[in-house]
Amino acid sequence: MTLRKGTPHPVTTKQESIRAKILPTLIVTICLLQAIFLGIFWKQYRQDMKTAEVLVTQRVQDLLQAEMERDVAKMDTAMEVLIRDTDLATALGNRDREWLTEQGQPLFQQFRNNHQITHFYFHQPDRVNFLRLHKERKG
């Protein structure tokens, strides 16, 4: 409705009548389209997050597995060195703590520096710790 110049009463024009019919429908349609787009966007976002979560989880598992395999390889190397040292085996069999400490400490320091091995034990056949090179006093 508009007021025409010179007339005190509002006059309804055909154009305003069409706007009044189309505008509410257009507004509702635009709102529905926005809601649909937001719904699609949200669904895609959730799917992308799930996919990213699966990928990150798998990557972490792969990295942990690789790290464990490297650690096992380090321990295998250390064990090979120790197994081949008959003097250490003899000293352990004789329960000679002083000699084991004297000969084992340089090996332990080398393993610590080169392979980040933090603990070094000599065990008796009954699985009791005989000597801990990383804590000499406990023995």
The C-alpha atoms of residue 94 and residue 86 are separated, in whole angstroms, by 12
Q: Given phi > 0 = left and psi -120 to 50 = alpha, else beta, which region is 30?
A: alpha
What does 31-90 look like in DSSP terms, one character per residue?
HHHHHHHHHHHHHHHHHHHHHHHHHHHHHHHHHHHHHHHHHHHHHHHHHHHHHT-HHHHH
- pTM higher than 0.75, yes or no? no
Per residue in 57-101, pLDDT (tens digit) is: 999 999 999 999 988 888 888 788 778 888 888 888 888 889 888
In tens, the pLDDT along 31-56 reads 999 999 999 999 999 999 999 999 99
